[in-house]
Amino acid sequence: MRYRFFKILFTISAFIFVLPINIRAQETLKLSLSSCRDMALTQSESLKQAEHKYEQSRLDRKIANTAFFPKFDASATGTYVFPDIDMMGMDLRMRGMYMAGITLTQPLYAGGKILTGKKLSKLGESIAAEQKRMTMMDVLVEADNAYWTLIAVRQKVKMLDSYKEQMDSLYTQIKTAVDAGLATENELLRIEASRSDILYQMQKARNGEDLCRMSLCRITGVDAQTKLELTDTTIYVNEPGLLAADINGRPELNLLKHQMDATQKQIQMSRADMLPTVGLIAGYAYYGNIKLNSMVDAGNGTMIPYSQEFRDGLGAVMLSVKIPIFQWGANLKKVKKAKLDFKNAELEFNKNSRLMNLEAQSALKNVYDGYQLIKTAEVGLKQAEENLRVTNNKYNVSMALLTDLLDAQSQWKQAKSNLIEAQTQYKIYETEYLRATGRLNQDFSPDYQ
């Protein structure tokens, strides 16, 4: 009985513990575009890796700066030498000899390597910063695309619901007319076929909506089963003013410039191998437990053992100069190789800058074309709504055929779908334009407005 009691108690406790978790998992998450961006940036593994690389580049710069300062090294040595060393009848004993010291090394001149290394570390930090900004833009583009795509699919689902209501109402009307002998079965079959097609389209749209929702959940880092309520569903579109396809702010362009500078610095590093290096070395060492054993004459030919222990310290200062004389032309070949790397970096910059200019021009054109598509779609929707209203009125007074009414409804559905696609695609074009010109940031509003 006691076992059953504890088992029931454990089951109830586990249920109480799990219940809030399940409830929270089913809660609806309200998501604006701004919060979607924030969550995407917070959970992005790629952005975290870029941040870590940026921190590494900052550490590399600090490490490069330490090359200007002297280096201190300490050492300690214990030695046991056997047998004893014979020194003109005396025994030098070093059994347990020890030596400890400290060394200071100060580079005075290294052919420009130290200064060039510092400049390269600064370039590395700038490169890591641009890579981080580029990764951030990629995350924002992905978040915006997923957000607006989900809005577009949901609006299409609502539009299909409205279309289905129209068709259901028409079906009821025709069914009543068929029962009264005022319409034919053929007309009813036409409507049933249209209703089946609508149901098929609605199922596809709902499946697409669920996939888009799960994609947005992945991007924002929430559970795939989380219900999302998007708050920025009203799409405001302002006419774009005079925009420019300026790519000077793009991180990709800055990366190419930094890479050119880095290859130029590598030429200097290669030349430094052909120049002399000068260094100052200072040290102090203390040694002990070195014994000298011998026999000495105490007088009258009496020999007695004598032992002397050596313990002392000594200091030294050295100036080291190293001059490369002949390495079979290896250093000169390194310089030529570095120059070729610089030329390749120039060619890469020229090629990619043209591609980025083309990309920016295309993004700019998409913004203008997207706005015109919205205006065209709005006119088309107004015309389709008016055509549907007029055709419906005519059909009600038997002045239009059923096929005319079905065509008008289909045209309204297509026009409404066109407007949804044009509006959401325009928002995606906005984001892409800002990315292509290097001005995409975490703020919600486009900064070119």
Mean pLDDT of the chain: 88
Q: Is the pLDDT of residue 228 over 60?
A: yes
Domains in the chain, CATH or no CATH each: 26-436 (1.20.1600.10)
Distance CA 216, CA 152 (A): 13
pLDDT tier at 381, thresholds 50, 70, 90: very high
Range scoring the smallest mean pLDDT among 20-34, 110-124, 392-406, 417-431: 20-34
Q: Give tens-digit pLDDT for 176-209.
A: 888 888 778 888 888 889 899 999 999 999 999 9
Return the closest-CA partner of residue 209 out of 247, 284, 167, 154: 154
Phi and psi of 284, rounded to 5°? -140, 135
Return the closest-CA partner of residue 431 out of 37, 24, 19: 37
Phi and psi of 30, rounded to 5°? -80, 130
Distance CA 150, CA 146 (A): 6
Q: Is the pLDDT of residue 21 over 50?
A: no
Return the closest-CA partner of residue 390 out of 405, 378, 379: 405
Range scoring the smallest mean pLDDT among 9-18, 342-351, 377-386, 392-401: 9-18
Q: What is the pLDDT of residue 10?
A: 39
Q: Give tens-digit pLDDT for 94-116.
A: 888 999 999 999 999 988 889 99
Return the closest-CA partner of residue 314 out of 107, 102, 105: 102
Distance CA 137, CA 440 (A): 6
Question: Prior bond to 83 cis, omega within 30?
Answer: yes
